[in-house]
Amino acid sequence: MYVMVAPCILDPTLRAEGITRDEDLRVYDRCLDRCRAFGLDIVPLPCPETLYLGRVRGPATYTERLNTSDFESLLDGLEEEVRAMIQKRGEPLCIVGVDSSPTCGVNTTWYSPEGKVDHRGAFLSRFPDIPMTDVYDFARYRVYLAAPLFSEAERRYNEFIRDILATHCFEVYLPQEAGDDSAARHHEAMGDIFRSNCEAVKNTDWVVAIVDGADADSGTAWEMGYAHALGKPVISLRTDFRNTGDNEHVNLMLEQSSMVITRREDLPHALLSPLHH
């Protein structure tokens, strides 16, 4: 498998001067880390702005400098090159773009001095048939799976969910595989388990919480609240058809602090999987 990426993810100096932040660089690195972790080949796209305007340039919108027939002709040629590459290699997993870019934006693009528009950039808009994701979304691939783990059935179900997410290139922290099991829960180890799980929540990008049952598992509920307080997005999976109230799938506080889904098949989409864009 391979992904095509906007070239500035590999070489940020291709971007217009003065627009790259430290956070952008961290996200680009984590995007590449995800590719390495799952053995995804990285194929850079050409950079239309650099080819047309040169490497040294200030920021500008599409209408200010790129809305010309010469630039459209350049895009025609680059599209042919990319299509030929795809025909040779097969379909990519996705294209990873950079939002706001006049050429490689996925969800937004600087179209004119009046501001951004919700549209793909001029170059990526030529590939509507290929799944695309913004680099900031692609870089969020670490998942903490909060779930009860006290029975064989619960542990097997947790592993099943982990395996589903792994096929979508998510790295899953599963407490039962990180020392939190019945054998480890003696008094001396409990503090270590607590600190280890808290640190894992701090370092994750997403929390997926299994909240089936008449009431959510207390440990899972605590992890959800902790993640919400840290500003981490929480996805609650509740396949149990029972409601806890007239308007609630689950406890009100848990429902209001997470996105509740009722089918495991919807998990990848909720996590912005690159296979579901």
Residue 169 and residue 82 in one domain: no
Looking up residue 169, the CATH number of its domain turns out to be 3.40.50.450
Residue 175 and residue 258 in one domain: yes
* pLDDT at position 245: 61
* pLDDT at position 228: 97
- Give 33-47 pLDDT, tens digit per residue: 999 999 999 999 999
* pLDDT at position 254: 86
* pLDDT at position 142: 98
* Domain of 52, in residue numbers: 2-138
Domain stop point among 97, 112, 138: 138
Residue 134 and residue 167 in one domain: no
Beta carbons within 10 angstroms of residue 58's beta carbon: 10
The total number of structural domains that make up the chain: 2
Residue 115 and residue 152 in one domain: no
Domain stop point among 85, 110, 138: 138
Domain stop point among 86, 116, 138: 138
Residue 158 and residue 114 in one domain: no
Rounded to a whole number, what is the distance in angstroms from the first to the last CA of the chain? 16
**Cα(230)–Cα(240) distance, rounded to whole angstroms?**
27
Residue 148 and residue 261 in one domain: yes
Nearest CA to 99 out of 212, 9, 205, 199 is that of 9
Residue 254 and residue 188 in one domain: yes
Helix H segments across the chain?
7-10, 22-37, 48-53, 62-65, 69-89, 135-138, 152-166, 187-202, 218-229, 252-256, 267-270
Residue 75 and residue 150 in one domain: no
pLDDT mean values, one per 10 residues, the chain (277 residues): 97 96 98 97 98 96 97 98 97 97 97 95 97 97 94 93 96 85 66 91 97 86 96 93 67 87 94 80
Give the contacts of 246 (CB within 8 A, at least 6 positions apart).
none
* pLDDT at position 138: 97
Residue 156 and residue 246 in one domain: yes
What is the 3-class SS of 251-267, one letter each residue? CHHHHHCCEEECCHHHH
Residue 183 and residue 252 in one domain: yes
Residue 107 and residue 179 in one domain: no
Q: For residue 204, give the H/E element and its range.
A: none
- Give 104-121 pLDDT, tens digit per residue: 999 999 999 999 999 999
Residue 121 and residue 176 in one domain: no
Query: How much is the CA Rg of the chain, to the nearest whole Å?
Result: 22
